């Protein structure tokens, strides 16, 4: 136990913040969280509430999905934040920001973001974890694009997310259209 502020004691341990839009959460994200829990005692999944990005799912919808998905996983806190990530991190006992890296194409954006965050708070480090080979091609953006056009995203996002995407895009759950000589 470490005394944080006057009268306030907090269990410390190694805490990582995993920030992102999670619009929606994919198995790529989930794989990163599960592997991070092998290294850290606690992971805070921090969902950015940034309307400028015009997310498909509202912050309430994203929070609800992620909370349901991790409801049986101890040591995970699901939260949302507005404004600067470094300001949110300062309110927690995390020292590390965690980000997944899929390919070299992610690197430049991530490098700029990590450098900016470090310049805003020199005590903060960003740790990168390579996405599993099974999900390196999965991104929330492509998931939304495929789902919107009626393609299957099963196995790439949890079933709950598949259902929510179908509701959003008004795609019947049982839709299966065969196009062939008989049409």
Residue 171 burial (10 A CB sphere; 0-12, 13-18, 19+) = middle
Residue 55 CB, shortest distance to ligand PNS, in Å, is 9
User: Is the CB of 73 or the CB of 119 nearer to ligand PNS?
Assistant: 119
> Among residues 4, 53, 112, 141, which one is catalytic?
53
Residue among 96, 81, 16 at smallest CA distance from 46: 81
Q: Which of 35, 19, 17 is nearest to 27 (CA)?
A: 35
Instruction: Look up residue 85 and give its two tokens.
Output: 């990530």
Nearer to ligand PNS, 113 or 171 (CB): 113
Q: How far is the CB of 45 from ligand PNS (least distance, A)?
A: 11
* Residue whose C-alpha is closest to residue 156's, from 138, 129, 131: 138
Q: Which residues bind ligand PNS (CB under 6 A)?
A: 19-21, 48, 84-85, 113, 116-117
Least Cβ distance, residue 78 to ligand PNS (angstroms): 15
With respect to ligand PNS, which residue has the nearer C-beta, 86 or 171?
86
Structural element, H or E, at residue 55: none
CB of residue 23 to ligand PNS, shortest distance in Å = 7
Catalytic residue check, 102: yes
27, 156 contact by CB (below 8 A) = yes
User: Tokens 């994200």 appear where?
Assistant: 29
Nearer residue to ligand PNS within complex by CB, 51 or 179: 51
Give catalytic residue positions. Answer: 29, 53, 102, 140
């Amino acid at each position: 136990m470490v005394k944080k502020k006057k009268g306030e004691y907090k269990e410390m341990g190694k805490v990582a913040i995993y920030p992102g839009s999670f619009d929606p959460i994919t198995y790529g994200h989930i794989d990163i969280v599960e592997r991070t829990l092998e290294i850290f005692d606690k992971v805070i999944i921090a969902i950015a509430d940034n309307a400028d990005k015009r997310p498909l799912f509202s912050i309430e919808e994203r929070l609800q999905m992620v909370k349901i998905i991790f409801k049986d996983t101890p040591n995970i806190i699901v939260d949302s934040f507005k404004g600067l990530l470094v300001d949110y991190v300062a309110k927690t006992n995390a020292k590390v920001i965690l980000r997944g890296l899929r390919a070299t194409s992610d690197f430049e954006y991530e490098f700029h973001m990590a450098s900016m965050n470090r310049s805003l708070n020199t005590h903060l480090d960003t740790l990168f974890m390579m996405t599993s080979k099974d999900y390196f091609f999965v991104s929330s953006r492509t998931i939304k694009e495929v789902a919107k056009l009626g393609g299957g995203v099963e196995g790439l996002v949890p079933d709950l997310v598949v259902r929510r995407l179908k509701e959003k895009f008004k795609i019947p759950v049982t839709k299966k259209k065969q196009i062939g000589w008989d049409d």
